[in-house]
Amino acid sequence: MSKSTDQLVRDLLDREALRELTYKYCMYVWAKDAMGLVNLFTDDGTFDYEPLPPAPRQTTTGRKALIEFYTGTNNQVQYPFIHNHVITLNGNTATANCYADVHRQREGKWQLSKGLYRDTYQRVGEECKFKVRHLSGIALTPVDK
For 6, residues 6+ apart whose C-beta sits below 8 A from its C-beta are none
Which domains are assigned to the chain? 5-142 (3.10.450.50)
Stretch 111-132: mean pLDDT, rounded?
94
Annotate 56-91 with b (16+ C-beta within 10 A) or e (fewer). Answer: eeeebeeeeebeebbeeeeeeebebebeeeebeeee
Flag whether pLDDT at 145 surpasses 60: no
* Dihedrals phi, psi of 54, to nearest 5 degrees: -95, 5
For 63, residues 6+ apart whose C-beta sits below 8 A from its C-beta are 38, 41, 43, 44, 45
Please tell me the pTM assigned to this model.
Answer: 0.90
Distance between CA atoms of residues 74 and 56, nearest Å: 20
pLDDT single digits (tens) 33-45: 999 999 999 999 9
pLDDT single digits (tens) 59-87: 999 999 999 999 987 777 889 999 999 99
Distance between CA atoms of residues 91 and 102, nearest Å: 31
